[in-house]
Amino acid sequence: GIFPLREMMIDCEMGRVEVMRVSKFLLCIVAAPGPGVAGQPPDEFGMLRRKATALASSLEEPLAAWAAAMRPAAGSAAPSVVV
């Protein structure tokens, strides 16, 4: 079967990016490259992933409710919302 993408981690020159699906939206968190805590080597995405997961968990219900509220009624035009 087909498995929908749940998250993606990208390592770029400009930093690290975590993209995660939250309800019908995409959450994107960017972390600048830099040294780890107290001179330790940087975490390979672990901290960024934990932060994204915690944020996604707290946003899941409100974003799902907002998406349901923005769903157009039968026969009406879709609302034009820019966030």
Using CA atoms, how far apart are residues 27 and 60, in angstroms rounded to an integer? 10
Using CA atoms, how far apart are residues 55 and 21, in angstroms rounded to an integer? 11
Among 5-19, 21-35, 38-52, the least confident range: 38-52
Strand, coil or helix: 2: coil
pTM of the model: 0.67
Cα separations in angstroms, 4 against 20, 21, 51, 72, 83: 11, 10, 21, 25, 24
Nearest to 9 by CA among 20, 22, 24, 1: 20
Strand, coil or helix: 81: coil
Spacing of C-alpha 45 from chain mean position: 14
What is the per-residue pLDDT across 27-48, written as a single tens digit (0 to 9) for each?
999 887 766 556 556 666 788 8
